[in-house]
A and B are shown apart, each in its own frame.
Chain A
Amino acid sequence: MLDIPYRLTPPRLCLIFSLFALGLAGLALQHASPLSTGLEALFAPDAGNATQLVLHYGWWPRLTIALLAGAGLGLAGVLMQQVLRNPLAAPTTLGVASGANLGLMVATLMAPWLFDFGREWVALAGGGLAMGLVFLLSWRRGLAPMVVVLAGLVVNLYAGALGMALLLFHQETLKGLLIWGAGSLSQSGWDGVGFLWPRLVVGAVLAAIMLRPLAILDLDDANARSLGVSLKSVRLAGLGLGVFLTACVVSVVGVIGFIGLAAPAIVRLSGARRLSQRLVWAPLLGALLLASTDLLLQRFSGALPTLIPTGATTAALGAPLLLWLIPRLGLHGGNPVSGQHAIMRRHPAPERLAMVLSGVLVLAAIMALMTGQGADGWQWLGPSQWSTLEWRLPRLLAAAGSGIMLAVAGTLIQRLTANPMASPEVLGISGGTAIALIGAMYFLPGASHLTMIGIGTLGALAVLGLLVLLNHRSGFLPERLLLTGVAVTALFDALRAIVLAGGDPRGQQVIAWLSGSTYYVDLTTAVIVAAGALLAALAARPFARWLDILPLGTPTARGLGIHIGQARLLLLGLVALLTACATLVVGPLSFVGLLAPHMARLMGFARGRSQLMGAALVGAVLMTIADWLGRQLLYPEELPAGLVASLVGGAYFMWGLRRL
């Protein structure tokens, strides 16, 4: 609840924003021509007047599409948050945007003829395929919210990683898609509006029809079932509609961040409790939010030599808003989570499994050091070629070391928050480091490695400070912590999108680093990383008892005599340190931090202590193999280890999900 004297109800909020948007629009029209001519240009532009033409073919369609897209995303957001029962769920959660993005990239590179059918259809097909994969993965579990979110997350990461890889090799060809990916609302005619509005009307009507069954999802699974509702079909319909709406919006204007998450969240916070209320006010607020942002942006970005895409800007502006909202969120740590623990099987002898994994790690290390391609094809290093190890050893150590760090950090954060979506990346620490380093790349060209490390650490510390500042009062409540992280990550994503969309040739360097490569590591750093990782893995072991107890919930943990606030702060500090170190070495795409703990659990490392050990080993193996594969697959071009890890790990993860 918002705790302010004049309560901001959804209608009041919408009124404020519509006045704001109207004022901005009026100013913009006034600026261009007399107000009446501006309105005239909407219907009958004077063909000889450049200003009127711009208004008719550019400004008016842009305003319209902003309103439509915002409404569509707001509606989709409500549907998804309702079905997935997760305040972090957004229209992009199910991989629609990244699927559409990947579809466009693949079509551009391999099947340009597909564009004859229209770009919207390519994007829709890509988004649809990604969503289909998510449904396929979670079908056997009756589309249970947790499984859907997990499957969506991993499909997102997978499509994102593939997209990054394509971008790394074809940046010149794909530069136009970068603008699309950052969500530019700029229009050059009315065809986008013509495509979008009928689809949104259909979507809105369907949502109204589904209102009653969807409202039942407010109850928990058992109660809902007792009302005789097929949960599976309601979820399928709800998600399907949300995805369809998202795909339509995304295919026309590109990826618009945050509106789909923020509009439903704000509406709910300001008192729209019932689903019917939210279905009305969230689209309205979404439309107004997007339109106001876009109008503001048009007003202030005119003089810049680059284009500031609206989609990325909403994300950037939304981040502080979310940070402001977090302390005001009435979150409580006991919302019904479907039995994530029950479905994990437990290995009878984790120690034996760990021994096997260690053996695999040694084999992988030997392979990574001794085999590889050279000028004459594949070779096993003879004694005369051992000088090559000068290049391979640092990469091996750095890869394995950062794998361990991220895996341990991931295990800690997932146990700490009892949320399987959590990862060091979601916490925002990688994002903070990355923001600082991107800044350094642009403003301090040619800075030394040491300077970069210093700047990156400062970024990580800043985010950690923010996390502590915003969360210490609530005793580091998991949901709030995650939301803080989501906000920082959104800020980072936005910054990255803006930087890349501008088409600055330096963007390539950013892409290379963001994909997570061990390329830049020298031997000293590598040894430090590896040793640090081992120390950290050992340091985390005494916390194992906390890790078993904390997921059981606050009351239980307190009952067992754990000082919750202190325990969380300590674990959080360790996570931050580990993430910062690993990010500085291999970039912020720490999918390993998400995947390794899960893979360890899928293998049967169930207890806190054994999961830590298992995850560390899995992380090390994953990164070692990923680094080696990355160097060999496209020789002489190199795929970054972080990317390959997410591709390899993601495939395994999907297989494991399917088996659940």
Chain B
Amino acid sequence: MPTVPLFLHTVCRWIRRFTLLWITLLPTSGVLANDDAIAAIDWTLAETLVALDAPPAGVAQVDAYHAWVGEPELPDDVVDLGLRTQPNLERLSELDPSRILISPMFAGLTPKLSRIAEVETLDFYNGERELWDQLVALTHRLGDMVDQEAEADALIERTETRLERQRQTLSSTDDRPLLMIQLMDERHARVFGDHSLLQAVTDRLELENAWQGTTNAWGFSLVGLEDLMGIEARLVVIKPLPVGVKARLADSGLWQQLPSVKRDDVIWLDPVWTFGALPSAQRFADLLTEALEDADRA
């Protein structure tokens, strides 16, 4: 509808004026303006804020966050803002945060959200720069934003030292390349490669990723199991497994013939948020190191 009749403009203007009148004349109710409250629509931003000891006041889909991101946990008093794709505007305006943080994926929400508070779009996973550098830059930026610069430096420092220590302990173990996958069903898997959080971690641990194929901007490629067949590597399967898949894998001829399954050296890792930032990276590194060491001892 490119051309708008003039009278419609007038109608709109009047309705808006009345709305503005109500807003200015009548005392705003409920919660007082929260000067330092931050609402995070994106989970990756939320987990970083928690790690910076400046947890957001509101996060979208809190239950699902705990199911899929897990750690670091959100504080109990965090306000659930509803869906990530469509955060509840009435709830957000009640919360009255000073800033709303989103990732470019949700950029379509900016016009709506910016009427409640200043919207900051933080870019990561754009596939242009080395992912680790992007995540470090993201952590610095968030640290600046919530006046936790020192905490941000410490988080980066802590993560990098720890990964360095893990690299040294792992250098003595088996150096077979790894094939990191997440099963979608018994025939399909996401395999993680370039631009993925998982590879960013294995790069720092100086472990080799066996997947050399192309990946999308989030660092994975959706493949059928047959595409994994010819790759000589140790499988790392990130849980959770979809329901029923464990049983069906036992009957799957192709799965049983995968080199790693035949050798019975598949590593099953507890759930990790594969699109996360430094906290998720640390969690993945811990789980992987522990599993590799266990396997090595056995």
In the complex, A502→B220 CA distance in Å? 10
| CB of B210, distance to nearest CB on chain A (Å) | 13
Given contact pairs A112-B244, A390-B23, A505 touches B275 in the complex (Cβ within 8 A): yes
Instruction: Answer yes or no: A384 CB below 8 A from chain B CBs.
Output: yes
- Please indicate the chain A residues that have their CB under 8 angstroms from the CB of B226 in the complex: 54, 57-59, 186, 188
Instruction: Answer yes or no: A393 CB below 8 A from chain B CBs.
Output: yes
Whether the pair B222, A50 counts as a contact (CB closer than 8 A) is no
- Please indicate the chain A residues that have their CB under 8 angstroms from the CB of B184 in the complex: 175-176, 179, 503
Whether the pair B85, A509 counts as a contact (CB closer than 8 A) is yes
Whether the pair A179, B188 counts as a contact (CB closer than 8 A) is yes
Whether the pair A508, B185 counts as a contact (CB closer than 8 A) is no
In the complex, A56→B29 CA distance in Å? 69
Q: Interface centre among B8, B29, B214, B222, by most A CB within 10 Å?
A: B222
Whether the pair B29, A637 counts as a contact (CB closer than 8 A) is no
Instruction: Answer yes or no: A455 CB below 8 A from chain B CBs.
Output: no
Instruction: Answer yes or no: A339 CB below 8 A from chain B CBs.
Output: no
In the complex, A544→B259 CA distance in Å? 71
B-contacting residues, A450-487, CB 8 Å:
453-454
- Please indicate the chain A residues that have their CB under 8 angstroms from the CB of B28 in the complex: 384, 387
Stretch at the interface among A266-274, A360-368, A424-432, A526-534: A526-534
Whether the pair A445, B107 counts as a contact (CB closer than 8 A) is yes
Instruction: Answer yes or no: A389 CB below 8 A from chain B CBs.
Output: yes
Instruction: Answer yes or no: A375 CB below 8 A from chain B CBs.
Output: yes
Q: How many residues of A contact B (CB 8 A)?
A: 85
Whether the pair A449, B83 counts as a contact (CB closer than 8 A) is no
Q: Which residue of A lies closest to B27 (CB)?
A: A384
Given contact pairs A57-B257, A527-B8, A179 touches B185 in the complex (Cβ within 8 A): yes
Q: Interface centre among B82, B106, B244, by most A CB within 10 Å?
A: B244
Whether the pair B222, A306 counts as a contact (CB closer than 8 A) is yes
Whether the pair B93, A636 counts as a contact (CB closer than 8 A) is no
Q: Mark A496-513, 1 if CB is under 8 A from B, else 0.
A: 000001111110110110
Instruction: Answer yes or no: B70 CB below 8 A from chain A CBs.
Output: no
Whether the pair A387, B23 counts as a contact (CB closer than 8 A) is yes
Whether the pair B31, A58 counts as a contact (CB closer than 8 A) is no
State which of A112, A184, A446 has its C-beta within 8 Å of the C-beta of B108. A446
A-B pairs with beta carbons under 8 A, tally? 217
Q: Mark A151-192, 1 if CB is under 8 A from B, else 0.
A: 000000000000000001110110111011000101111110
Instruction: Answer yes or no: A517 CB below 8 A from chain B CBs.
Output: yes
Instruction: Answer yes or no: B239 CB below 8 A from chain A CBs.
Output: no
In the complex, A54→B223 CA distance in Å? 14
- Please indicate the chain B residues that have their CB under 8 angstroms from the CB of A54 in the complex: 226, 229-230, 254
Whether the pair B257, A47 counts as a contact (CB closer than 8 A) is yes
Whether the pair A116, B244 counts as a contact (CB closer than 8 A) is yes
Stretch at the interface among B9-17, B48-56, B134-142, B173-181: B9-17
State which of A57, A506, A581, A637 has its C-beta within 8 Å of the C-beta of B254. A57
Whether the pair A449, B8 counts as a contact (CB closer than 8 A) is no
In the complex, A307→B188 CA distance in Å? 9
- Please indicate the chain B residues that have their CB under 8 angstroms from the CB of A180 in the complex: 185
- Please indicate the chain B residues that have their CB under 8 angstroms from the CB of A441 in the complex: 108
B-contacting residues, A41-75, CB 8 Å:
47, 50-51, 53-54, 56-59
Q: Which residue of B lies closest to A372 (CB)?
A: B90
Instruction: Answer yes or no: B34 CB below 8 A from chain A CBs.
Output: no
State which of B89, B110, B183, B185 has its C-beta within 8 Å of the C-beta of A391. B89
In the complex, A585→B146 CA distance in Å? 37
Q: Mark A509-551, 1 if CB is under 8 A from B, else 0.
A: 1011000010110111001100110000000000000000000
Query: Could you tell me the dominant secondary structure of chain A's interface residues?
Result: helix
In the complex, A119→B110 CA distance in Å? 42
In the complex, A512→B15 CA distance in Å? 28
Q: Which residue of A lies closest to B24 (CB)?
A: A387
Given contact pairs A384-B29, A386-B26, A446-B107, A393 touches B15 in the complex (Cβ within 8 A): yes
Query: Could you tell me the dominant secondary structure of chain B's interface residues?
Result: mixed
Instruction: Answer yes or no: A86 CB below 8 A from chain B CBs.
Output: no
| CB of A401, distance to nearest CB on chain B (Å) | 12
Whether the pair A528, B64 counts as a contact (CB closer than 8 A) is no
Q: Interface centre among A108, A175, A372, A532, by most B CB within 10 Å?
A: A175
A-contacting residues, B226-281, CB 8 Å:
226, 229-230, 242-245, 247-248, 251-255, 257, 259, 275
Q: Which residue of A lies closest to B217 (CB)?
A: A504
Instruction: Answer yes or no: B88 CB below 8 A from chain A CBs.
Output: yes
State which of A168, A445, A519, A528 has its C-beta within 8 Å of the C-beta of B104. A445
Whether the pair A522, B112 counts as a contact (CB closer than 8 A) is yes
Instruction: Answer yes or no: B32 CB below 8 A from chain A CBs.
Output: no
Whether the pair A509, B82 counts as a contact (CB closer than 8 A) is no
Instruction: Answer yes or no: B71 CB below 8 A from chain A CBs.
Output: no
- Please indicate the chain B residues that have their CB under 8 angstroms from the CB of A330 in the complex: none
- Please indicate the chain B residues that have their CB under 8 angstroms from the CB of A512 in the complex: 83, 85-86
Instruction: Answer yes or no: A227 CB below 8 A from chain B CBs.
Output: no
Whether the pair B85, A527 counts as a contact (CB closer than 8 A) is no
A-contacting residues, B96-154, CB 8 Å:
104-108, 110-112, 115, 121
Instruction: Answer yes or no: A36 CB below 8 A from chain B CBs.
Output: no
Given contact pairs A50-B230, A307-B223, A176 touches B15 in the complex (Cβ within 8 A): no
State which of B89, B105, B253 has its C-beta within 8 Å of the C-beta of A506. B105
Whether the pair A176, B11 counts as a contact (CB closer than 8 A) is no
- 17 residue pairs of the A-B complex, CB under 8 angstroms, read A50-B229, A54-B254, A56-B253, A57-B257, A179-B188, A186-B226, A306-B216, A307-B188, A374-B90, A390-B115, A453-B2, A502-B216, A504-B216, A509-B108, A517-B86, A524-B4, A636-B82
List residues of A whose CB falls within 8 A of some B CB.
47, 50-51, 53-54, 56-59, 107-108, 112, 115-116, 119, 168-170, 172-173, 175-177, 179-180, 184, 186-191, 303-307, 372, 374-376, 382-393, 441, 445-446, 449, 453-454, 501-506, 508-509, 511-512, 517, 519-520, 522-524, 527-528, 531-532, 581, 635-638, 640
10 cross-chain pairs, A with B, having the tightest CB-CB distances, nearest first: A115-B244, A189-B253, A58-B226, A188-B254, A446-B107, A186-B224, A512-B85, A112-B243, A636-B82, A57-B253
